[in-house]
Chains A and B, each alone.
Chain A
Amino acid sequence: MTLERLGSLLLSGLWETLYMTCASTAFAYLLGLPLGVLLVVTRRGHILANPALQSGLGVVVNVLRSVPFLILMIAVIPITRFVMGTTIGSGATVMPLVIAAFPYVARTVESSLLEVDYGVIEAAQAMGASRLQIIRKVILPEATPGLVNGAAIATTNILGYSAMAGAIGGGGLGALAINYGYYRYKTDVLLAAIAVLVLLVQCVQHLGTWVACLVDHRLK
């Protein structure tokens, strides 16, 4: 294989992977962030205490998280076909990725929000802040560094899952590694695809750590 051909394969794979990862992460946060907030504020003694709802949501999250991703991908094929119109390609992969990732995101968000000192929340209550104001102006901003760190970890996880989706008709670098490297014994493509994935994970993680540090005013 010529270097040019390898380059263009990697470039289109990288583009698809970025597309899948970004779209999936965005949708996973769209669902997971509010869910994570709910998991926190419905706790006993919290601002919207509702232990029954809290444990119900917890069970849903745990069930979704315990299904192995490969199985989940196959299980949600009917939903994917219904929503996306197709079950193959990068676009179709977004669906199972979101379903797999949002419960994980919810738990990540939950643990970041729990780090906010409850005393600060009480102080806001004592100042007459409404529940929504407490969520928007106290809990989320105070948890920002943790949320950013969590987002970096979630993104790298979703990146890894997106590569796995290559096994059942997804696109991207994972599909490239499987189709060329595994089925056609082209080890050079396999190694190159892995190298790009490693670089990508490094970049995301470093970016996350850097931004988290930048927005954290507790240390300086």
Chain B
Amino acid sequence: MADEAAPVMIDIRGVRKVYPSSAGDVVALNGIDLTVRKGDIYGIIGMSGAGKSTLIRCVNRLDAPTEGSIHIGGQNILTMDQKALLAMRRSVAMIFQQFNLLMQRTVLRNVTFPLEISGLPRARAVARAKELLDIVGLAEKAPAYPAQLSGGQKQRVAIARALATDPQVLLSDEATSALDPMTTQSILALLEDINRRLGITIVIITHEMSVIRQICTRVAIIDNGAIAEEGSVREVFTAPRTAAARRLFRGDREEIPPGARCMRLVFNDTNLHEPVVANMILACGVPVGILSGNMQTVGGQRRGQLLIQLPADAALAEKALAYLRTQDVIVEEVEPLDSGAAG
């Protein structure tokens, strides 16, 4: 995991992207500031259309920002000439939702492709490709064609291909969104392994909270073309500060009974085993209903949450709340789901 003192790998400042259209300009990105440090697995999450794909495509200049600056490893990539741009792209690899393998090339020749275009002699390219296929666990598929592979295998080939040129950064654009949950787990584990073993900085674009929770060290929530919230995954998950962040968590949340006053209690590793609710009932003599409870692993730490319903009597409810606030847990009020509002 990267620490705060690690050198800055990607520095995005004031990036705007405007698509002119006949119906007026469409602002896809509206002043993005973002810092990714070396060794980070940086997650960028947002709803469809929030601008996250546009943002990651600006990082390797598949799209050019309208305004702002992007530095990778200290170099301004927006002012680079064509030759420097092509060289930069060799150190910033990318994987995609649809894998984008060359269908008329074998698995081996897909992996040698980036080496071929960078002018490496064929024999060395083949040796390197075999090494990489070994890393992703597909050595025996070298002579197969992509059409003969499963989705997860295709993404493994795409990862091997992305690693061929020894990149410093790996951009992942919804790389697990076309895969089933089991395969997603194995691809995420592979990415984490690559980050740890090879020290490659990874930027992940996703709309799935579970992806962020499972492997990211930091997260930025993008909403309407702007960063709504940014921080370590643990921070943001435990105490989301913005409506956009809470809206993304809504998928994790149960419906609450209409008219009820509900609270969410969030526990961490140290107080997970405290019988906080039982103690409260004993101490205050206030009965509460438990609506739901779960436990997840976030950024390597366990995090539990309980959804409780306070009694209808306001005085009793306040008594219970007053007690809970003295305890070492996060207590927050849960607003009812506003029905029909699209996230």
Contacts and interface: CB of A to CB of B under 8 A. Distances in A.
Interface of A: 117, 119-120, 122-130, 133, 137-138, 141-142, 144-145, 215-220
B147 A122 contact: no
9 contacts: A123-B94, A126-B89, A126-B93, A137-B117, A142-B103, A142-B104, A215-B104, A218-B103, A218-B104
Nearest to B97: A119
A126 B148 CA distance: 24
B12 interface: no
Contacts of A120: 100-103
Contacts of A125: 62, 89
B275 to A, nearest CB: 53
A149 to B, nearest CB: 14
Which of A124, A128, A138, A141 gathers the greatest number of chain B CB atoms within 10 Å? A128
A44 to B, nearest CB: 13
Contacts of A137: 113, 116-117
A164 B175 CA distance: 55
Contacts of A219: 147
B98 A122 contact: no
Contacts of B161: 127
A156 B212 CA distance: 57
Contact of B103 (A122, A126, A133, A217): A217
Interface of B: 60, 62, 82, 85-90, 92-94, 96, 98, 100-106, 113-114, 116-118, 145, 147-148, 158, 161, 165, 171
Given A122-B96, A123-B94, 18 more contacts: A117-B100, A123-B96, A123-B158, A126-B171, A127-B117, A127-B165, A128-B86, A128-B118, A130-B86, A137-B116, A141-B105, A144-B104, A216-B104, A217-B104, A218-B103, A218-B147, A219-B147, A220-B148
Nearest to B106: A217
Contacts of B62: 122, 125-126
Contacts of A127: 89-90, 93-94, 113-114, 117, 161, 165
B117 A217 contact: no
A124 B96 CA distance: 12
A162 to B, nearest CB: 32
Contacts of B90: 127-128
Most chain A CB atoms below 10 A, which of B86, B116, B148, B165: B86
Contacts of A142: 102-104
Contacts of B89: 125-128
A142 B113 CA distance: 13
Nearest to A122: B62
B102 A138 contact: yes
A141 B102 CA distance: 9
Contact of A220 (B96, B98, B147, B165): B147
Contact of A122 (B100, B113, B145): B100
B103 A128 contact: no
Contacts of B158: 123
- Closest 6 A-B residue pairs measured CB to CB? A128-B89, A123-B100, A126-B94, A217-B145, A128-B86, A128-B90
Contacts of A124: 113, 117
A122 B117 CA distance: 14
A137 B158 CA distance: 17
A137 B116 CA distance: 10
A94 B246 CA distance: 72
Contacts of B104: 141-142, 144-145, 215-218
B15 to A, nearest CB: 18
**Interface hub of A124, A127, A133, A138 (most chain B Cβ within 10 A):** A127
B143 to A, nearest CB: 11
A125 B88 CA distance: 11
Contacts of A130: 82, 86, 117
Nearest to A121: B100
Contact of B87 (A128, A216, A217): A128
A95 B94 CA distance: 48
Contacts of A119: 96, 98, 100
A220 B106 CA distance: 12
Nearest to A138: B102
A218 B158 CA distance: 17
Contacts of A217: 103-106, 145, 147
Contacts of A129: 86, 117
Given A218-B147, A219-B147, A220-B145, A128 B114 contact: yes
A133 B117 contact: yes
